[in-house]
Amino acid sequence: MYSNSAHNIYAQNNVGIESSHKLIEMLYEGVLRFNAQAKKAIKDNNIEKRIYWLNRSIAIVTELLSALDIKQGDVALYLDGLYRQEMVLLSSVSIDSDISKLDEVSKVFKCLLEAWRESADVA
């Protein structure tokens, strides 16, 4: 259902993306942005928007997961497990509206984004 949707949305809106490195950065930023919107919806008790924004975050994490090449080693295996755990948490938030779980996912993606940006600076 979510296959390639996040990538297609970003690709359509950002035809001039310079590299796949920039695309991953934008996907991480998207999760953070959508999680913030979901958190606001939870606080506003807006079920429809909560589900909408959480589904957008889940779509991006699904895309990140599908882009991994497990044959590339330990980092890919680690990210596979991490992304799967974050999807479980996001799905749980869509059921129980637990902001602490949503904050946990956002914290993980903030750390991933920082590490990703640092790796670009080194390269």
Q: In CATH, what number is assigned to the domain containing residue 70?
A: 1.20.120.340
Considering its fold, how many domains does the chain have in total?
1
Report the pLDDT value the prediction gives residue 1, as an integer from 0 to 100.
Answer: 43
For residue 6, being part of any structural domain is answered with no
Going by pLDDT thresholds of 50, 70 and 90, the confidence category of residue 20 is confident
15 vs 37, residue with greater confidence: 37
More confident residue, 1 or 99: 99
Residue 20 CA from chain centroid, whole number: 15
- Could you tell me if residue 11 is inside a domain? no
Q: How many residues does the chain have?
A: 123
Tell me whether residue 5 is in a domain.
Answer: no
Q: In this structure, which amino acid lies at residue 69? A: D
Give me the mean pLDDT over the 94-123 stretch: 93
pLDDT (tens digit per residue) in 43-95: 999 999 999 999 999 999 999 999 999 999 999 999 999 999 999 999 999 99
Return the minimum-mean-pLDDT range out of 15-19, 36-40, 119-123.
15-19
Whether 7 is covered by a domain: the verdict is no
**CA–CA distances in Å: residue 98 to residues 34, 63, 107:** 15, 24, 15
Can you give the C-alpha Rg of the chain in angstroms?
14
